[in-house]
C-alpha cells in the first residue's frame, strides 16, 4: 500500500471538499477476533456495544509500535472541541465534525466520499461536542442507516450516500424532545450516541425532564420509555417531593449506554437532578439521578439499579458509559459491569443480579448549612477497588513547583479548606477536590479479556461556593440580576466575567459581539456547550438579558415583591458561584502533581496494577520537574497487541503504553489536542489508529484534524 502523499510531511494536511460532522451509528457486530482478515471494523461507539474500548487487532504490537507513522490526514476546516470517536465500517470512516456535519472518508487514504450538511435542514447549523454516531444494518443486509443528532433533532442517513432517509420520522428526522410524556416538546439534545438492540435505537440525551427511550430504527416511533423521574405508582416516586416529575429536570442520561446483547440488557448511567448545587426544591434521595440502571432492552422494564450519589449537590453525574467485561471472582467467571465516577471510584457489579463484587459502605458526610437544604446524611463508598485519585486536599498536597505556588496554595487551603469528596455547598468558599471534571470523565475506561480495566484520571482542584439570591439585608435583588445568578452564573460567573479556560465566555462585552435578538435566540435554542433554556418565561428571559446588557427593561428589574407568589416560590434561595479551576500564578493546577494519570486496575482482584503520569508540560520538565501529567479529556483503547493508545492530554501528543507495565513505547505530536478516543481498525490487511484532534480544552489552541497512523506500507 502507498502512503497518502501528504504523510511525507508529518502534518501537511490535505483539505478535501467539504467538512466533517458528528454522528450516531448503529452497526452489525464488529469483526472482533478476526485479526488475520483483510478488514476489521470499529462499528460502534467506543468499539462495541459493551463499550469495552478493546481491539483484537495485533499487527501493531510492543515490538513494532515505535515504527508508527502518519498514514493520512484530513482537515475538517473547523475549530473547536472535536471529540468524535469515529466509526469504520467496510473500509469507510464516518466522522462527526464540530458543526455536526457528517463526513464519509476512504478509511485507507482519507479521501472524502460524501458529506451531509445539517445547515441545509430544518435543524440549521449544529453545535459542537458530538462524540460519535450510531450505525444500524438489518439482519437481511438490505437496509442500513446512520443516526446523527443536530440541535433538537435526530436524523437518519443513508450510509452509502449521506442522503436523508425520508421514511424516518418527518422527512428523515424526529424531534428528540418528542415522546417524553410531558407537556409540550422540550428542547433535548444528544452529544453521546445511543446503542442498538436488534432494530431498536436506545437513546438518552441532555436537557428535558429525564428519560431513556427505545425508538424504532425505521420509523423513529417510540417503542418504550423509562421515566428517570418516577411517576405515581412507579418505583422511586417517594424519593422526591410529590408530583416532582411535573417540574423537575436534568436527569437525561448524556454519557451513554452499554448493551449485553445476548441477554437483552441495557445499562444506563444517569445525570444529576437540577439545580445541580441546591436541592431545596427536591428533598429526598432523588431516584434515578446519579444511578446505574439496568433495563430490559426490549421493553424498558427496570431490572435493577444502584444509586452512586444520593441527592447530589455537587454535579457528580456519572460521566462515562458503563463498561461490560468478564472477571474471575471467587474462583468463578462473572459477567460484570464497571461504572467509573468523577470521584475516581470504580463500582463493579454482577451485570445480571446487580450484586456488587465487593462490599459498598454507606458513610456519613457533612450536613448542609444552607436554609431549606436537606443534604443526604450518608453516601456510598466502594471498599474495592481503592479510589484512583486522592480523596482529600490537605497541606501535604500543596504545590511545590515554585516558591510562589507553594506560598499561594498553602495560604489558600488554610483559608478555604477541603472537606473531602462530599462537601456540603456553602456560602463559604472551599476547595473542591475531587474536582467537577473528575476523576473520570466522558472518555471512560477500556477493558481487555483478562479483566483489566485501563482509565485516565484528572486530579485538578476547583473552587466551590454558593451565593445568595437576596441582599445581605434580606431585600430582594432586582429580578434580572437574581435570575442571572440562578440560571447563568454557574457558567458565566457571578461577575459575568466568564471562565475562559473552562470554555465559558465573558458576558461583560457581549453587546459588542451579539445583538439582544441574537442572544435571545441562543438562550432559546442553545449553542455550543450551552443547552436551550426554552422553558424560561419570556418575561424572565427579558429580565436576564436586560441585566446582561446593562439596560432597564419594563419587566427586567422589578423587585421580587412585584412578582406573583407562585413564581417566587419556585426560585431557589441560592445560586452556584460558577465553575472555577484553582490554578497557581503561572496557570498550573494548584496542587502537588500528578495532575493526570493513566491507571490499570485488575478487576479480578480489585487491586491497582500500575499508575503512571499522563502528559507533561515540557517547560516544567526542562526545569528538572518530573512529568506531572496534565488535565485530560478523551479515553484509551487497549489492543491484543499489548498496547494502550491514548491522546487526551493538554500537550498535543498521542502515546502508546505497554499495557503490562505502563511504560511509554511510542509518542507522536498532534496538530491540536486529541481530546477524543481513538479508533483502531484494519483495511486491506493494514491496521490503523485514528484520532480526532480539535483541541480547545484546557485553554489550548483549537482546529479540526483527523490523523491516521499505520506501520510503513509496502
Res 499: pLDDT: 66
Distance CA 711, CA 689 (A): 10
Query: Which three cell numbers mark 60?
Result: 501493531
Res 560: pLDDT: 40
Q: Is 302 helix (H, G, I), strand (E, B) or coil?
A: strand
Decide if 185 contacts 177 (C-beta within 8 A): yes
Question: Hey, which of 21-30, 480-489, 672-681 has the most confident mean pLDDT?
Answer: 672-681
Domain ranges of the chain: 5-57+65-391+434-460+593-710, 470-571
Task: Flag whether pLDDT at 536 surpasses 90.
Answer: no
Distance CA 553, CA 477 (A): 15
Averaged pLDDT for residues 519-548: 79
Least confident span in 69-73, 426-430, 505-509, 617-621: 505-509
Task: Name the E strands within 228-322.
Answer: 257-260, 265-269, 291-296, 302-307
Query: Which three cell numbers mark 430?
Result: 472551599
Res 30: pLDDT: 39
Q: Enter the pTM of the model.
A: 0.87
Task: Flag whether pLDDT at 472 surpasses 90.
Answer: no
Decide if 404 contacts 310 (C-beta within 8 A): no
Distance CA 337, CA 327 (A): 10
CA dihedral 227, 228, 234, 239 (to 10 degrees): -160
Q: 5-57+65-391+434-460+593-710 has which fold?
A: Methanol Dehydrogenase; Chain A (2.140.10)
Task: Flag whether pLDDT at 511 surpasses 50.
Answer: yes
What share of the chain has pLDDT > 70, as a percent?
Answer: 90
Closest CA to 132 of 195, 218, 79, 76: 195
Task: Flag whether pLDDT at 12 surpasses 60.
Answer: no
Helix ranges, 475-574 (H): 479-487, 489-492, 516-525, 538-548, 565-570
Res 273: pLDDT: 95
Task: Flag whether pLDDT at 565 surpasses 60.
Answer: no
Task: Flag whether pLDDT at 512 surpasses 80.
Answer: yes
> Beta strands 686-695 and 702-710: pairing type?
antiparallel
Averaged pLDDT for residues 562-567: 40
Tally of CA atoms within 13 A in the half-sphere of 129 that contains its CB: 20
At residue 621 the predicted structure's pLDDT band, cuts being 50, 70 and 90, is: very high
Task: Flag whether pLDDT at 92 surpasses 90.
Answer: yes
Which pLDDT tens digit goes with each residue over 312-352?
Answer: 999 999 999 999 999 999 899 999 999 999 999 999 999 99
Averaged pLDDT for residues 282-311: 98
Which pLDDT tens digit goes with each residue over 235-294?
Answer: 999 999 999 999 998 899 999 999 999 999 999 999 999 999 999 999 999 999 999 999
Q: 564 vs 707, which has greater pLDDT?
A: 707
Q: 13 vs 179, which has greater pLDDT?
A: 179
What share of the chain has pLDDT > 90, as a percent?
Answer: 76
Query: Residue by residue, what is the 3-state secondary structure of 151-194?
Result: CCEEEEECCCCCCECCCCCECCEEECCCCCCCCCCCCCECCCCC
What is the secondary structure of 395-430 as a DSSP string?
GGG---SSHHHHHHHHHHHHHS----S-PPP-SS-E
Scanning the structure block, which residue is given the C-alpha cell 452529544? 191
Res 570: pLDDT: 61
Q: What share of the chain is helix, strand, coil (3-state, %, to 5)?
A: 10, 30, 55
Res 509: pLDDT: 87
Res 24: pLDDT: 41
Rg of the chain over all Cα atoms, to the nearest angstrom: 24
Task: Flag whether pLDDT at 554 surpasses 50.
Answer: no
At residue 11 the predicted structure's pLDDT band, cuts being 50, 70 and 90, is: very low
The helix or strand, by DSSP H or E, that contains position 618, with its residue range, turns out to be helix 618-622
Query: Which three cell numbers mark 546?
Result: 436586560
Please indicate whether the domains covering 5-57+65-391+434-460+593-710 and 470-571 agree at the CATH topology level: no
Distance CA 646, CA 643 (A): 10
Query: Is the CATH number of domain 470-571 1.10.760.10?
Result: yes
At residue 19 the predicted structure's pLDDT band, cuts being 50, 70 and 90, is: very low
Query: Which three cell numbers mark 671?
Result: 496538530
Averaged pLDDT for residues 134-138: 98
Closest CA to 666 of 641, 685, 703, 631: 641
Query: Which three cell numbers mark 503?
Result: 470554555
Amino acid at each position: 500500500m502507498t502512503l497518502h502523499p501528504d504523510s511525507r510531511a508529518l502534518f501537511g494536511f490535505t483539505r478535501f471538499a467539504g467538512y466533517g460532522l458528528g454522528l450516531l451509528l448503529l452497526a452489525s457486530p464488529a469483526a472482533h477476533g478476526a485479526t488475520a482478515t483483510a478488514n476489521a471494523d470499529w462499528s460502534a461507539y467506543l468499539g462495541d456495544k459493551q463499550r469495552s474500548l478493546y481491539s483484537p487487532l495485533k499487527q501493531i504490537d510492543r515490538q513494532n509500535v515505535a515504527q508508527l507513522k502518519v498514514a493520512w490526514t484530513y482537515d475538517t476546516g473547523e475549530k473547536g472541541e472535536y471529540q468524535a470517536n469515529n466509526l469504520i465500517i467496510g473500509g469507510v470512516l464516518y466522522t462527526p465534525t464540530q458543526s455536526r456535519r457528517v463526513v464519509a472518508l476512504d478509511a485507507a487514504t482519507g479521501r472524502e466520499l460524501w458529506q451531509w450538511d445539517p445547515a441545509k435542514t430544518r435543524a440549521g447549523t449544529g453545535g459542537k461536542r458530538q462524540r460519535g454516531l450510531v450505525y444500524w444494518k438489518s439482519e437481511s443486509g438490505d437496509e442500513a442507516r446512520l443516526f446523527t443528532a443536530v440541535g433538537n433533532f435526530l436524523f437518519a442517513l443513508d450510509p452509502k450516500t449521506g442522503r436523508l432517509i425520508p421514511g424516518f420520522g418527518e422527512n428523515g428526522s424526529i424531534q428528540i424532545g418528542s415522546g417524553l410524556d410531558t407537556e409540550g416538546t422540550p428542547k433535548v439534545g444528544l452529544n453521546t450516541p445511543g446503542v442498538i438492540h436488534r432494530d431498536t435505537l436506545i437513546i438518552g440525551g441532555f436537557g428535558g425532564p429525564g428519560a431513556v427511550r427505545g425508538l424504532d430504527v425505521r420509523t423513529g416511533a417510540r417503542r418504550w420509555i423509562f421515566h428517570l423521574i418516577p411517576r405515581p405508582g412507579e418505583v422511586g416516586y417517594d424519593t422526591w417531593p410529590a408530583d416532582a416529575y411535573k417540574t423537575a429536570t436534568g436527569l437525561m442520561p448524556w454519557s451513554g449506554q452499554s448493551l449485553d446483547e445476548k441477554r437483552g440488557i441495557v445499562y444506563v448511567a444517569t445525570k444529576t437532578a437540577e439545580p445541580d448545587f441546591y436541592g431545596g426544591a427536591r428533598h429526598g434521595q432523588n431516584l434515578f439521578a446519579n444511578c446505574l440502571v439496568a433495563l430490559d432492552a426490549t421493553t424498558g422494564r427496570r431490572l435493577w439499579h444502584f444509586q452512586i450519589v444520593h441527592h447530589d449537590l455537587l454535579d457528580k453525574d456519572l460521566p462515562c458509559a458503563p463498561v461490560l467485561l468478564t472477571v474471575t471472582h471467587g474462583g468463578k467467571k462473572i459477567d460484570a459491569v464497571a461504572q467509573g465516577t468523577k470521584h475516581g471510584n470504580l463500582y463493579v457489579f454482577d451485570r445480571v443480579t446487580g450484586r456488587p463484587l465487593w462490599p459498598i459502605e454507606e458513610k456519613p458526610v457533612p450536613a448542609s448549612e444552607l436554609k431549606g437544604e436537606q443534604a443526604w446524611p450518608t453516601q456510598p463508598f466502594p471498599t474495592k477497588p481503592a479510589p484512583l485519585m486522592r480523596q482529600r486536599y490537605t497541606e501535604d498536597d500543596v504545590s511545590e513547583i515554585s516558591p510562589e505556588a507553594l506560598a499561594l496554595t498553602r495560604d489558600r487551603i488554610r483559608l478555604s479548606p477541603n472537606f473531602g469528596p462530599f462537601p456540603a455547598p456553602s456560602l463559604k468558599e472551599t476547595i473542591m477536590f475531587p474536582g467537577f471534571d473528575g476523576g473520570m470523565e466522558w472518555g471512560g475506561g477500556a477493558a481487555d479479556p483478562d479483566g483489566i480495566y485501563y482509565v485516565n484520571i484528572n486530579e485538578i482542584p476547583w473552587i466551590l461556593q454558593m451565593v445568595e439570591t437576596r441582599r445581605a439585608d434580606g431585600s430582594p435583588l432586582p429580578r434580572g440580576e437574581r435570575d442571572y445568578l440562578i440560571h447563568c452564573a454557574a457558567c458565566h460567573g457571578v461577575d459575568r466575567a466568564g471562565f475562559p479556560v473552562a470554555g465559558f465566555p465573558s458576558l461583560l462585552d457581549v453587546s459588542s459581539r451579539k445583538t439582544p435578538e441574537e442572544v435571545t435566540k441562543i438562550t432559546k435554542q442553545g449553542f455550543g456547550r450551552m443547552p436551550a433554556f426554552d422553558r424560561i418565561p419570556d418575561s424572565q428571559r427579558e429580565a436576564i438579558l436586560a441585566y446582561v446588557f446593562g439596560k432597564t427593561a419594563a419587566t427586567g428589574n422589578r423587585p421580587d415583591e412585584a412578582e406573583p407568589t407562585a413564581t417566587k416560590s419556585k426560585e431557589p434561595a441560592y445560586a452556584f458561584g460558577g465553575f472555577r479551576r484553582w490554578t497557581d500564578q503561572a496557570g498550573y493546577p494548584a496542587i502537588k502533581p500528578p495532575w493526570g494519570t493513566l491507571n490499570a486496575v485488575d478487576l479480578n482482584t480489585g487491586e491497582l496494577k500500575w499508575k503512571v503520569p499522563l502528559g507533561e508540560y515540557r517547560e516544567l520538565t526542562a526545569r528538572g520537574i518530573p512529568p506531572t501529567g496534565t488535565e485530560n479529556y478523551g479515553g484509551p483503547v487497549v489492543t491484543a497487541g499489548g498496547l494502550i493508545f491514548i491522546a487526551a492530554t493538554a500537550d498535543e501528543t498521542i502515546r502508546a503504553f505497554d499495557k503490562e507495565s505502563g511504560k511509554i513505547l511510542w509518542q507522536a505530536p498532534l496538530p491540536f489536542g486529541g481530546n477524543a478516543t481513538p479508533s483502531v481498525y484494519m483495511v486491506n490487511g493494514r491496521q490503523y489508529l485514528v484520532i480526532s484532534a480539535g483541541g480547545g480544552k484546557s485553554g489550548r489552541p483549537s482546529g479540526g484534524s483527523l490523523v491516521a497512523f499505520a506501520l510503513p506500507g509496502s
